[in-house]
């Protein structure tokens, strides 16, 4: 895919970082977007080792103007935006009755508005080119109810509704839109949270030994492989779809 470009939001760590490395390995030029500037620099250094070009763009996706500036920067540097991976998100727990207004606003701003703003900024460039692929990051929580996760579940379900709309709205213009719904994935977020309780990665994996049909949680690279497939020409006749990558959790309900 040499010469093609991809914007990846939330690229400084976790699934976003894994996506950046996966696309770079395929020869894409990768625009790394995150609020974590030092994290972006570290990912860019890793990508440099495989010889792909990167842009490091510190931006808050919850701000529409910031997303537009990202698209302008990529268009200026590389002329085209071939793929958008709208991955940036936050996880906030709480039931409907206990969640604060501040938490509601934050999760909607990032998980839902941030995806919408990222798509809104990339779409005009894709329409001008007559082609493009959008992959939005949802969650298994969008499909299966879970306790104490009301606002997170709601935000991730909203992302799926947006994705389907984009697929219908822009399909005749050569633009595809799909979603990935990961199950439990071992990222830096979970590793850090475990470390605060005196646990390490091996403890996380041990706790996940009965998760889903495969008896384990996912590695970020496994989610990135699914994202890469949906964005690639190998998925050229796939649009408006939700790819569940949960190790069989949704068919077993074994958490």
Closest to 69 measured CA to CA, from 136, 120, 15, 14: 120
Distance, in Å, from the CA atom of 58 to the CA atom of 38, rounded to the nearest integer, reads 10
Whether residue 117 lies in the annotated active site: no
Out of 28, 117, 152, 211, the active site residue is 152
DSSP secondary structure, 166-193, as one string: HHHHHGGGTEEEEEEEE-SB--HHHHHH
**Residue that has been written with the tokens 């990339």 in this structure:** 122
Token pair of 42, please?
Answer: 């570290």
CB 231, CB 135: distance < 8 Å:
yes
User: CB neighbours of 135 closer than 8 A, spacing ≥ 6?
Assistant: 83, 84, 85, 86, 177, 178, 179, 180, 227, 230, 231
CB 54, CB 48: distance < 8 Å:
yes
- State the virtual CA torsion across 218, 33, 181, 92 in degrees, nearest 10: 90
Catalytic residues: 152
């Amino acid at each position: 895919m040499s010469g093609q470009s991809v914007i990846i939001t939330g690229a400084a760590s976790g699934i976003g970082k894994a996506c950046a490395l996966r696309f770079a390995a395929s020869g894409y030029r990768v625009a790394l977007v995150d609020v974590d500037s030092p994290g972006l620099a570290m990912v860019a250094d890793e990508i440099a080792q495989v010889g792909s070009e990167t842009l490091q763009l510190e931006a808050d996706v919850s701000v529409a103007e910031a997303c537009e500036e990202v698209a302008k920067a990529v268009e200026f540097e590389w002329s085209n935006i071939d793929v958008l991976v709208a991955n940036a998100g936050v996880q906030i727990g709480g039931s409907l009755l206990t969640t604060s207004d501040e938490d509601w606003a934050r999760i909607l701003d990032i998980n839902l508005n941030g995806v919408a703003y990222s798509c809104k900024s990339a779409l005009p460039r894709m329409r001008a080119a007559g082609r493009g692929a959008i992959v939005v990051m949802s969650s298994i929580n969008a499909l299966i109810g879970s306790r104490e996760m009301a606002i997170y579940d709601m935000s991730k379900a909203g992302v799926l509704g947006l994705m389907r709309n984009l697929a219908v709205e822009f399909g005749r213009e050569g633009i595809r839109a799909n979603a990935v719904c990961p199950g439990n994935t071992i990222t830096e977020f979970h590793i850090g949270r475990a470390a605060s309780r005196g646990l390490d990665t091996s403890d996380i994996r041990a706790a996940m030994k009965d998760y889903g049909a495969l008896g384990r949680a996912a590695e970020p690279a496994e989610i990135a492989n699914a994202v890469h497939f949906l964005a690639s020409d190998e998925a050229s006749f796939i649009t408006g779809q939700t790819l569940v990558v949960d190790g069989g959790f949704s068919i077993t309900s074994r958490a």
